[in-house]
Amino acid sequence: MITALVSKKGGVGKTTTCVNLAAALAGIGKKVLVVDLDSQASASLSLGVPRERLAPSIADVLLHDMPVGEAIRPTRTGGLDILPASSDLTSFDVVMASRSGKELLLGSRLRPAASFYDFILVDCPSSLSLLPINALVAADNFVLPVVPQYLALEGVRNLLPTTQRLYERFGKRTDLLGIVLTIVDYRTRTNRHNIDLIREQFGNAVYAIEIRTNIRLAEAPAEGMTIFEYDSHCAGAKAYRLLAAETLIRASQLRRNSAARAEAV
């Protein structure tokens, strides 16, 4: 199953959620691959890849036809592999501008790896440019992290029409696995108010578990560690373990729904 972590807005916890959800899933015995699509390589660095060893990266796979297996490597976490990003990705939009099928490239390049993993999580840059579009087309579903602040709902409203358009164009559904409320601070009244609004409007599409503000989650990436390596007993680690458990349930619900749809056709 391929899951894209997307949002047009930056700083909403996409990378933090990608890395720590991946590590939590690996911790319960799943085979997991993180694909880093952000030229800043935050997910790669957070998973302990040294900056000078980012190559070979997803840029080589997408731009220079390198077989995907040659760029994937293990992390310190058992069962968790990384396909790193590098700054070369910044040229992707320009190089691909006039190519036909440019939205389908990631999906076709990942295909040989897909059967080795239970979960492939794709960390996207904060935009809806060609790389996140590739991720959405390649993915079975997507996770949308939202910080319950002012204008939080705008991010959700942007994305849902985009996935609908992609469905109309490429004929492949990308389901919403769930909206994850992140960097939640219950002490502020706006946070609480916005959480109520988001839950009211999106109902079951919103994960039950909320990821609260936790300083350990902000500290771990600088050490190149997942939250479980950095402080496996902190509140952030517990939250991401619960998020992984809920992800398993939500993923099997989506699989049941799509099997039912296929039967109905």
Ligand X SMILES: Nc1ncnc2c1ncn2[C@@H]1O[C@H](COP(=O)(O)OP(=O)(O)O)[C@@H](O)[C@H]1O
- In the range 134-193, which residues lie near ligand X by CB under 6 A? 182-183
Q: How far is CA 31 from the centre of its chain?
A: 16
176 within 8 A of 142, measured Cβ to Cβ: yes
The 197-216 contact track toward ligand X, x by CB under 6 A, reads: --------------x-xx--
Site string for ligand X, 214-253 (x = CB under 6 A): x--xx--x--------------x-----------------
Strand partners, 142: 4, 176
**112 contact choice in ligand X, Mg ion, none (CB below 5 to 8 Å, kind-dependent):** none
Task: Indicate whether 8 belongs to the interface with Mg ion (CB under 5 A).
Answer: no
What angle is formed at CA 5 by the lines to CA 103 and CA 82, rounded to 5 degrees? 90
Cβ count near 111 (within 10 Å): 12
Distance (Å, rounded) from C-alpha 187 to C-alpha 18?
Answer: 26
Instruction: Count CB-CB contacts under 10 A for residue 159.
Output: 21
Q: Interface residues for Mg ion in 25-64 (CB under 5 A)?
A: 42
Q: At its nearest, how many Å lie between Mg ion and the CB of residue 12?
A: 9
Q: What DSSP element (H or E) covers 120?
A: strand 119-123
Among residues 3, 16, 57, 163, the one that binds ligand X under rule CB under 6 A: 16
141 binds Mg ion (CB under 5 A): no
Q: Tell me which amino acid residue 21 is.
A: L
Task: Respond yes or no on whether the N-terminal peptide bond of residue 132 is cis (omega within 30° of 0).
Answer: no
Nearer to Mg ion, 126 or 247 (CB): 126
Which residues are at the interface with Mg ion (CB under 5 A)? Answer: 14-15, 42
Which residues are at the interface with ligand X (CB under 6 A)? Answer: 10-16, 42, 126, 182-183, 211, 213-214, 217-218, 221, 236
